[in-house]
Structure formats: structure tokens, C-alpha cells
Structure 1
């Protein structure tokens, strides 16, 4: 049994009960961590507060990661509320006009996709670092579309590749302080973000047919992996991309 009692975990990216962030939050709470859940804007506030009410010792905070002042503000609030951060979860990704193929991606759409999906991890890690002690963990979420071409994933695949590179460089930057940085490459899950991917069901079907386990994963399975990577059991793991996809990434045909 993984014990995270006494640990403070901050989870960014909660949209609704189908969010991967929610599966991770549940598992971290189950292991005893004190949770801070961060939502983007007032539109998402009610759902975040209702979900947080189901977890003990959990508070909610608003933060738009595209605004530096918001990041500064929320970490001042977190410092005041907890004094430290042991676990930071970045479950954030967005690309406007994702239906456009990469060739036809507008410059501004490229900028926004990388700002929200990649730079936000760097910005949050920088803000969290002063509050993190030796052995702390930073975790983000990626997808196999960073390595292989998936239909209709388009510019998000390029952004996820950047995110995975950022994980490795941040692991190097923060390694001297013994702060670990890792990513989970989750299999396809019916989240709010997935709705923007055309014919998403074909990807789900392909995983069921070809993955060694012949099924798709769910949020709680991703949460289990996050719980492990956030714990002292993973003290020697950093800069890694861990697949939680029922083995789909190992298959050819």
C-alpha cells in the first residue's frame, strides 16, 4: 500500500469527472495526500468544487496557466495554505483548430498549443520549485501521438513531443535538488479534450483490437501509475515517459 500521508499534492487541469486529472486526484487522496485542485476559470469552478467535496482535506484554487500573474497568485496562495508542495501534477493540453492538419496550422495556433501544452509545465515547475523539498515529484500527461502519427491529432502531437522533451530537460535542471520529473503516456480516454479529435472512436477501437490486453484504460488506472510515480517507491525514476495504454505502444501490426 502506497502511503502519501503528510504529502501535499497540487493537481492542475481538472475539467470534470471524466478528466484524467480527476482519476489522479482520487488516487493521490486515497493514498493519504492532502489535495489542492486547480481549475482554469469560473466556468469550471462549480464542477471542481463539487468534485473536491468528495475528497477529504481538499481545497480548490483558480489558475489560468496562460497568465503569469495567475500562476504567481496561486502559488502564493498555496504557500500560505500549505507551506510546501510535495507533488505537482500537470494534466493540461490544448490546441486551437486541432482539425487542421500540421501543414495548414496557423502561426498563432501553433503558439497557443505550445504555450498551453508545453510552456505551462515549465512555468508551473519554476513556480513550484521553491516550495519543493528533496524527493518531490512533478508529473505531466502525454500521449503516443508525440511519437507516432495518429489521424486527426495534428498539431497536438507536435506539442506533446515538445512536452516530452521538456520533461527530460526539466528532470536535468531539477535533479540537483532531487526533484523528479516524469510523464505518463496514457492510452486514449473519453475526456473533454478528446471530444475535439475527429473520429476519436476509431482510435479507441484500434486499441481494443491491437493492444495486448485488448481493451482501453480508464482514469483510475492512470491514477494508480501517478500514485506510484509520485511516491518514494519511484525515487530512482526521473525524466521518463511511462506508458499506461494496455501495451498498445509495443505493437506493430
Structure 2
């Protein structure tokens, strides 16, 4: 448990899609400290995430030390591969997991958070994705490698660029890294070791 008092602070955590990841654990720690939790969930998993949340699947892992359940002020769809709507290719727009969802680019989510909450005090980047993660590095295509870097690494720069205008001077931003960014991890490919 954090020995911080974050009551009255708003935290946006990008990359919460289940209760197994670091994003969830960070959200829970910040909630324990009193912060209001706002999350961005990868668009393709958002529906199942919200369903599992509503059905109580995460209730045990939502339990805080005082016995209450961690609450999410709002869950936004977020695909950090896209800075703005103009960046979204037609095949993604027409994909069944995206077709009925809107407002999931970084710029749109930042604007929605601004409209809904005014500002945030904490920004957490807990994102990683690689379409070719199953492939060895030398079998990874340029497109797959660049996609891994875009969604796992560059997305932090874009999040900062779009969210900084709604963050007071004393705000904090945190990006997670992975041991593969420092050394080779056998069997972990698709460009993720570089992202």
C-alpha cells in the first residue's frame, strides 16, 4: 500500500484490459491512496472487459484494503496506435471490433477526458502490443516491428503530447518498461524486445 494521500487527484491509466496486468495493479495502488481512477482500454478488448467487470469476475481483485471495491470513474476505448481519426486505416474502421466504437484515438480520448474531468494529475502508460510477438526477431517484418514500436513506445510520447495540456505543473507521468529493453529475452520476438 502506498503511503501517499492522493485524495482529490485524478489518474488516467492507459492499458487496463483485465486484472492481470501492471496497469490494473497500478490502478489499484492509486485507488488505495485515494485517487480517482480513469482508464483507457484497448478497443478490441473493451467489450469483454466491461462485461467481466459488470458480471463481478474482477470483484476479488478489485477489493481494496478497507473492503470496498476499486471503482473506475470511466472506461474509455483507446487504441494508442492512432493519434487522431485521420490515422485510422479503413480496414480497422470496418473491423467488427471497432466498427461500432468511436473516439478511441489518443487525441479523442484526451479531449473526452478534458471535457469530462477538466484535468488529470497522474498519467500512466501501461501499453504494449506487437502483432508478430510469436515470431523470432529475425523473422519479424518491418511492418510488424514498427507496429510494436508505435503502440508500445511512441504511444507514450503521443499520450504526453495530448494529455500535458490538461495536467497541472505538479502532475506525474509514468511509462512502464520491460527487462527485454535491456537484454535479449529468448523467444520474445516481434519487435517487443526493442519497444
TM-score of the superposed pair, with normalisation by structure 1: 0.59
Cα displacement (A) at 1:93 = 0.6
Q: What is the CA–CA distance in structure 1 between the aligned matches of 2:20 and 2:48, rounded to whole Å? A: 15
Asked if 2 retains the 8 angstrom alpha-carbon contact of 1:39 and 1:48, the reply is no
Residue 72 of structure 1: aligned partner: 107
Q: Are 2:149 and 1:134 aligned?
A: no
**Which 4+ residue blocks in structure 1 deviate beyond 3 angstroms?**
51-54
Cα displacement (A) at 1:139 = 0.8
Matched position secondary structure for 1:157: coil
Q: Structure 1 unaligned segments of length 5 or more: list them.
A: 160-253
Q: Structure 2 unaligned segments of length 5 or more: list them.
A: 63-68, 85-104
1:12-55 CA-to-partner distances (Å, cap 9, x unmatched) read 11121112111111110110001101111153234247159842
Q: What is the CA–CA distance in structure 2 between the aligned matches of 1:108 and 1:121, rounded to whole Å? A: 19
Matched position secondary structure for 1:99: coil
Residue 84 of structure 1: aligned partner: 119
Asked if 1 retains the 8 angstrom alpha-carbon contact of 2:126 and 2:176, the reply is yes
Residue 154 of structure 2: aligned partner: 119
Alignment of 1:1-253 (within 5 A): 1-41=3-43, 43-48=45-50, 50=53, 54-56=69-71, 58-69=73-84, 70-154=105-189, 155-159=191-195
Asked if 1 retains the 8 angstrom alpha-carbon contact of 2:39 and 2:72, the reply is no
Matched position secondary structure for 1:110: helix
Cα displacement (A) at 1:82 = 1.1
Q: Size of the alignment, in residue pairs?
A: 159
Asked if 2 retains the 8 angstrom alpha-carbon contact of 1:14 and 1:48, the reply is no
Q: Name the structure with the higher helix share.
A: 1
